[in-house]
Chain A
Amino acid sequence: MSGTLNRREVLSGSVLGVAAAGLGGAALGAAGPDAVAATPAAAAQGSPARAEIVLRVNGRDRLLAIDPRTTLLDALREHMALTGSKKGCDHGQCGACTVHVDGRRVLSCLTLAVAVQGKAVTTIEGLSAGDRLHPMQQAFIAHDAFQCGYCTPGQIMSAVACVHEGHAGSPAEIREYMSGNLCRCAAYPNIVAAIEDARNQMERS
Chain B
Amino acid sequence: MNYDPQSLLGQATPRVDGVAKVTGAARYAADEVVANPAYAYLVTSAIARGRIAGFRLEQAMAVPGVLDILTHENVGDALKQSPPGPDGKPSTTTLESERIWHDGQIIAVVVADTFEAAREAAHKVEVDYAEERPAGTFGDEGTQTEPAEAPFGPNPEVGDAAGAFAAAPVKVEARYATPTQHHNPLELFSTTCAWEGSKLTVYEPTQFMHGTKARMASQLGLDIQDVRAVSRYVGGAFGSKGVNGRAAWVAIAARRVGRPVKLVATRADGFTTNSYRAETLQHVRLSAERDGRLTSFFHEGWELSSRPSPYCVAGTEQTARMYACPNILTRVNVVHADRNTPGYMRAPAETPYMFALESAMDELSYALGMDPIELRRVNDTQIDPVSGRPFSSRSLMPCFDAAAVRFGWQRRDPQPGSMRDGEWLVGYGCATACYPVFTGPAGARLTLMPDGRAQVAMAGHELGTGAYTAVAITAARLLGIDVDDVTVSMGDSDLPPVIVAGGSSNAASTALATAKVCEEARRRLAAAAVTAADGPLRGLDPDALVLVEGRLRHDGGAEEPIRDALVRVGGRLEVYAEHVPDGLPRGAVAALGDGQLLFQHNGNRSDVTAFAFGAQLVEVRVHRRTREIRVPRVVSAFAAGTIINPMAARSQFMGGAIWGLASALHEATELDHGAARYVNKNLADYMIPVNADVPSVDIIILPEKDERVNALGIKGIGEVGIVGMNAAVANAVFHATGKRLRELPIRAERLL
Q: A residues touching B (Cβ–Cβ < 8 Å)?
A: 1-5, 7-8, 10-11, 42-43, 45-49, 67, 69-70, 74, 77-78, 81-91, 93-94, 96, 123-125, 127-128, 133, 137, 140-142, 144, 146-153, 156, 174-176, 178-192
Contacts and interface: CB of A to CB of B under 8 A. Distances in A.
A125 B31 CA distance: 13
A179 to B, nearest CB: 4
Contacts of A49: 64
A152 B21 CA distance: 7
Given A1-B631, A144-B651, A90 B233 contact: no
B186 A96 contact: yes
B682 A185 contact: no
B683 to A, nearest CB: 4
Given A144-B648, A149-B464, A186-B654, 16 more contacts: A1-B666, A2-B631, A91-B682, A91-B684, A93-B682, A96-B186, A128-B23, A144-B15, A144-B647, A146-B21, A147-B652, A150-B236, A184-B183, A184-B236, A188-B689, A190-B651
A40 to B, nearest CB: 10
B683 A94 contact: yes
Nearest to A44: B64
B415 interface: no
Contacts of A87: 30, 188, 264
A91 B186 CA distance: 13
A148 to B, nearest CB: 3
Given A88-B188, A91-B683, A191-B691, A144 B464 contact: no
Interface in B613-636: 629-632
Interface stretch (B110-118, B123-131, B243-251): B110-118
A7 B684 contact: yes
A193 to B, nearest CB: 11
Contacts of B682: 89, 91, 93
A48 B112 contact: yes
B91 to A, nearest CB: 25
B17 interface: yes
Interface string B684-722: 100011111111110000000000000000000000000
B604 to A, nearest CB: 30
Contacts of A94: 186, 683
Given A91-B267, A147-B466, A124 B24 contact: yes
Contacts of A90: 188, 266-267
A141 B114 contact: no
In order of increasing CB-CB distance, the 6 nearest A-B pairs are: A84-B24, A150-B235, A148-B464, A5-B692, A147-B464, A149-B21
B17 A149 contact: yes
Chain A CB within 10 Å — which of B115, B465, B696 has the most? B115
A182 B690 contact: yes
A4 B692 CA distance: 7
A8 B27 contact: no
A22 to B, nearest CB: 17
B187 interface: yes
A67 B116 contact: yes
A86 to B, nearest CB: 7
Contacts of A180: 690
A176 B64 contact: no
B690 A83 contact: no
B658 A125 contact: no
Given A87-B30, A149-B26, A48 B688 contact: no
B17 A47 contact: no
A89 B689 contact: no
A4 B462 CA distance: 34
Given A5-B690, A147-B651, A179-B690, A133 B186 contact: no
Contacts of B236: 147-148, 150, 184-185
B22 A2 contact: no
Given A94-B186, A147-B464, A189 B654 contact: yes
Contacts of B690: 3, 5, 7, 10, 179-180, 182, 188
B33 interface: yes
A93 B65 contact: no
Contact of B689 (A81, A124, A153, A186): A186
A1 B729 CA distance: 11
A137 B28 contact: no
A89 B335 CA distance: 32
B59 to A, nearest CB: 15
Interface string B1-41: 00000000000001101111111111110110100000000
14 contacts: A1-B661, A3-B694, A47-B65, A69-B116, A77-B31, A84-B24, A88-B186, A88-B188, A93-B267, A146-B22, A147-B651, A149-B235, A185-B236, A189-B696
B114 A84 contact: no
B18 to A, nearest CB: 4
Contacts of A89: 188, 267, 682-683
Given A48-B112, A91-B683, A175-B692, A81 B33 contact: yes
B323 interface: no
A85 B694 contact: no
Contact of A5 (B117, B465, B693): B693
A86 B31 CA distance: 9
